[in-house]
Amino acid sequence: MKAGREARATFLPPLDTMARMSEPTIPPHNSDPSPAGRVRALNFIEHIIEDDNAARKWGVDDQGNPKVHTRFPPEPNGYLHIGHAKSICLNSGLAKRFGGAFNLRFDDTNPAKEEQEYVDAIIDDVRWLTNDHQGYRFGGVFWASDYFEQMYAWAVELIRKGRAYVCDLSADEVSKRRGSVGVPATSPFRDRATEESLRLFAEMREGKHPNGSKSLRAKIDLASPNFVLRDPVMYRILHEAHHNTGNKWCIYPMYDWAHGGEDSLEGITHSICTLEFRNNRPLYDWFIDSINLGRGPGGGAGSESSTPIHHPQQIEFARLNLTYTVMSKRFLLALVKEGRVSGWDDPRMPTIRGLRRRGVPAAALRSFCEEIGVTTQESMIDVGRFENAVRDTLNKTAPRAMCVIDPLPVTITNWPEGTVDELDFVINPEDASAGVRKVPFSKEIFIEREDFMEVAPKKFFRLAPGQEVRLRWAYFITCTGVEKDAAGNIIRVLATYDPATRGGDSPKGPDGLPTKKVKGTLHWISAAAHTKGRVRLFDRLFSASEPGSRTGNQLDDLNPNSLNEVDALLDSVVAAAPAGTGFQFERLGYFYVDTDSTSERPVLNRTVTLKDTWAKVSAAG
């Protein structure tokens, strides 16, 4: 057993759930859900909630606001991915919009596959993504395993009401006897006496029966056309320790039995899930209705409690599917285990961990999820839309810096020997408050090798013999010649600069207009002040837009060239930046200082490229 509970206790409130439900732990919510700030039409879930609120369907909270309570219920059997991000943003976003609360609940009903490492990462990723101050009320972190005792009591109640029975069929036999369309399922134990089922269920709990020898099944309808309702298994025997409850239990609730009860206990009003659970909705309703059967005024159906339990409303939406992306946790785990990526946080992974390490800001994920909306139609979203959301967010925030990946030396022949000019480098043209910093310019600089051509086609607006270009924030330079090695390779470009263009602007004539125009602006780095480092240039992890669609095996579409790590010359400001700092390298894209970085040898991940204007120009001919 893992040291789970102790570790949690240090950063989470106590686990007496119902008490915690009413305590807002994270900042006061925005109690003004007025439509004033809305910029888009409501999605279908928001319409449902508006109607519910108008009818006061779920009552009001202590401030008189209609109750809205959502949750994100991951199984802690892997790291979260961008699909989960969609669900987290949707649920926390609804809580925010309607002044409600949002819970994180671990669906930890399966003792076999769950690990503390995943639990910790999920809590951290949810915090990061929702940022804890985005205006919703954080209801808390909850554990399905804290409800095991309550779930057991409900199960006993169902047996007493003749709505559940102990079945001796093995899992194999249950599935063999499942029937087919028009042919009912069978179980010889269905009409077992209530008293006998009660005794056997207690024995199951006491550990008197081996794994798989018995199960508790709901007594619904063996002939139902909805197979989910053909007496589904509620409990199975599993002699296995659980990360939270240790050896207390050797029977564990099935997901379908547990899920609705968890939502009920937490007072979830809108239980939002993906479309594949649509068929399960009648089952979840049946479970809650069965618990409530005979409860209420004048009831008292021989149970511990005669009060009806809360009955949440389930709403299904279409899951996020992205081109060039696989989201199944099982598949992602295999990529990690087989060493095809460096870990769950490999920057090429669609995991929140991977995206974070790559430099994707939480705000970009949130705006992407908002932008694609919520529907009930399965669809495939172009991953390019996600990349655009990342660009849009970073464009506003990322400080600019220089990086040259494939350096070609340039000597400014008319530059006075030994002098250095301190130029003003605009940190972020999108954000005047970011200001400027000084960058040294000197006789020897580097430009990108691909920015020079000795024999240039007509529309090549970069550096070429006789051609003038702007060096960003510095000067205009004109190429006057090249130096070559014995093999004829260009090893140096010679150029002259125009002192009247300091700052990168053309001088103005008497009419106030620029006296000359250049079409190309190049990035550069001074030979006198730079750091050598490494940059990781990523391509998509898969080379097919729908991985696996050709051969049925997603691995067949893994892109062998998805990682290209190369040397680079970096602006000195980059060398001084700690891991987790982002930059826009002029013309190359957005980059993020990696955890592998040291001040001697910075390592940066390219988060996303900028739009490539040269590719556009050459495509246009």
On whether the CB atoms of residues 346 and 66 are closer than 8 A, the answer is no
In the stretch 327-356, what mask flags binding to ligand ATP with x, by CB under 6 A?
xxx---------------------------
The answer to whether 378 is a known catalytic residue is no
The Cβ-side half-sphere exposure at 512, using a 13 Å CA radius, reads 0
Q: Tokens 């490999």, residue? A: 346
Q: Does 84 bind ligand ATP (CB under 6 A)?
A: yes
**DSSP codes of every residue in 29-46:** ------GGG--S---HHH
Q: Does 253 bind ligand ATP (CB under 6 A)?
A: no
User: Residue 20 or residue 329: which is nearer to ligand ATP going by CB?
Assistant: 329
Q: Give 533's contacts (C-beta < 8 A, 6+ positions apart).
A: 567, 568, 569, 570, 574, 575, 597, 601, 602, 603, 604
Within its chain, how far is the Cα of 21 from the centroid?
26
Rounded to the nearest 10 degrees, how much is the dihedral formed by the CA atoms of 456, 462, 467, 473? -170
Distance CA 607, CA 601 (A): 19
Q: Considering the complex, what minimum distance in angstroms separates the CB of residue 18 from ligand ATP?
A: 23
Dihedral sign for Cα 444, 450, 452, 453, please. Answer: positive
Q: Does 376 bind ligand ATP (CB under 6 A)?
A: no
Distance CA 321, CA 383 (A): 9
Own/partner contacts of 14-19, CB < 8 Å, gap of 24 or more, are 15/143, 15/146, 17/142, 17/146, 17/147, 17/265, 17/266, 18/265
Q: Considering the complex, what minimum distance in angstroms separates the CB of residue 259 from ligand ATP?
A: 9
Nearest CA among 288, 175, 173, 179 for reference residue 223: 179
Backbone angles phi, psi at 252, to 5 degrees: -130, 140
Part of the chain binding ligand ATP (CB under 6 A), chosen from 69-77, 174-182, 387-395, 526-534: 69-77
Q: Considering the complex, what minimum distance in angstroms separates the CB of residue 129 from ligand ATP?
A: 12
Q: Does 2 bind ligand ATP (CB under 6 A)?
A: no
The answer to whether 113 is a known catalytic residue is no
For ligand ATP (CB under 6 A), the number of binding residues is: 14
Rounded to the nearest 10 degrees, how much is the dihedral formed by the CA atoms of 300, 304, 309, 314? -120
Q: Does 83 bind ligand ATP (CB under 6 A)?
A: yes
Q: Which of residues 298-327 bind ligand ATP (CB under 6 A)?
A: 319-320, 327
The answer to whether 371 is a known catalytic residue is no
Q: How many residues does the chain have?
A: 621
Q: Considering the complex, what minimum distance in angstroms separates the CB of residue 389 from ligand ATP?
A: 16
In the stretch 19-58, what mask flags binding to ligand ATP with x, by CB under 6 A?
----------------------------------------
Q: Considering the complex, what minimum distance in angstroms separates the CB of residue 315 from ligand ATP?
A: 11
Of positions 50, 75, 115, 392, contacts ligand ATP by CB under 6 A: 75
Of positions 273, 398, 410, 608, contacts ligand ATP by CB under 6 A: 273
Q: Does 260 bind ligand ATP (CB under 6 A)?
A: no
Q: Considering the complex, what minimum distance in angstroms separates the CB of residue 274 from ligand ATP?
A: 4
* Per annotation, catalytic residue among 57, 127, 319, 534: 319
Part of the chain binding ligand ATP (CB under 6 A), chosen from 70-78, 139-147, 385-393, 398-406: 70-78
Within its chain, how far is the Cα of 192 from the centroid?
48
Q: Does 73 bind ligand ATP (CB under 6 A)?
A: yes
Distance CA 437, CA 364 (A): 27
Q: Which of residues 86-105 bind ligand ATP (CB under 6 A)?
A: 86-87
Q: Considering the complex, what minimum distance in angstroms separates the CB of residue 137 from ligand ATP?
A: 20
User: Residue 231 or residue 557: which is nearer to ligand ATP going by CB?
Assistant: 557
Q: Considering the complex, what minimum distance in angstroms separates the CB of residue 273 from ligand ATP?
A: 5
Nearest CA among 586, 452, 461 for reference residue 519: 461
Q: Does 173 bind ligand ATP (CB under 6 A)?
A: no
Report, as residue numbers or ranges, the catalytic residues: 75, 319, 329
Binding residues vs ligand ATP (CB under 6 A): 73-75, 83-84, 86-87, 273-274, 319-320, 327-329
